[in-house]
Amino acid sequence: MAAMNDEKLPLRYVTPIAWANAALTEPLALLNDHAHLEKKAATNALELLSRWPEPVPPENWVQSMTAVARDEVEHLAVVTRLLSRRGGKLTRSHHNAYASALHKLVRRGKGPDELVDRLLISALIEARSCERFALLGEACDDRELAKLYKGLWASEAGHYRVFLGLARDLPEAHRVDQRWDEMLDEEVKLITAQPPGAKMHSGLH
């Protein structure tokens, strides 16, 4: 496993540590938002599992999606356990404006292009979450929470590589790098436009 921050993430906006300090002022709200993201990440992996490119799933497709989904459910269990032990409650509904805006970039109904976009957006969300877990791990004084965030950093870094790798292995791989470049620019606009708050994908004042 690479040491924290050793790996270069491709992101084109670097979140300042002030973001983590602000988000950690409401740790229960942050854990609730975080739990919902883990749940969404699990369902996204299961959803992608059956979206494999025709005619048959690539060799590592089902295995990769299953492994990601299993990891995310495990993360969800850890986060919700912590939330409840600390007196917090998982809310029923949740909205992630950042992820919704990213999903609007998907070229729906465009066959292989749609799949490329879905994989790249999954990779982007993983990479941004990974960046933010590293910051939270660094900024957090609470040892239990710091351990959680530092532990998740490595797992989400692995997921980012899985999704990007699957996209690059598609038969349409020649179009993937250009689309990745466009998406990295779009992601900067979206993450910096988010309002501040105790959320994994919030902005700064």
Residues near Fe ion (CB under 5 A) are 38, 41, 72, 75, 126, 156, 159
Minimum CB separation of residue 22 from Fe ion in Å reads 22
Residue count of the chain, please give it.
Answer: 205
Minimum CB separation of residue 99 from Fe ion in Å reads 12
One-letter amino acid of 192: T
Q: Which one, 76 or 139, has the nearer CB to Fe ion?
A: 76
Minimum CB separation of residue 38 from Fe ion in Å reads 5
Torsion of CA 2, 125, 77, 88, to 10 degrees: 120
Q: Which one, 78 or 113, has the nearer CB to Fe ion?
A: 78
Q: Which one, 117 or 156, has the nearer CB to Fe ion?
A: 156
Two tokens, residue 66: 């299953």
For residues 23 and 136, is the Cβ–Cβ distance under 8 A? yes
Q: Is the peptide bond before 195 cis (omega within 30 degrees of 0)?
A: no
Minimum CB separation of residue 11 from Fe ion in Å reads 15
Segment holding 126, helix H or strand E? helix 112-139
Residue in 130, 100, 104, 98 with CA at minimum distance from that of residue 117: 104
How far apart are the C-alpha atoms of 66 and 4, rounded to whole Å? 25
Minimum CB separation of residue 96 from Fe ion in Å reads 14
Q: Which one, 117 or 126, has the nearer CB to Fe ion?
A: 126
Minimum CB separation of residue 126 from Fe ion in Å reads 5
Q: Which one, 81 or 110, has the nearer CB to Fe ion?
A: 81
How far apart are the C-alpha atoms of 88 and 79, rounded to whole Å? 11
**Angle of helix 61-85 versus helix 143-168 axis, rounded to 10:** 160
Q: Which one, 41 or 148, has the nearer CB to Fe ion?
A: 41
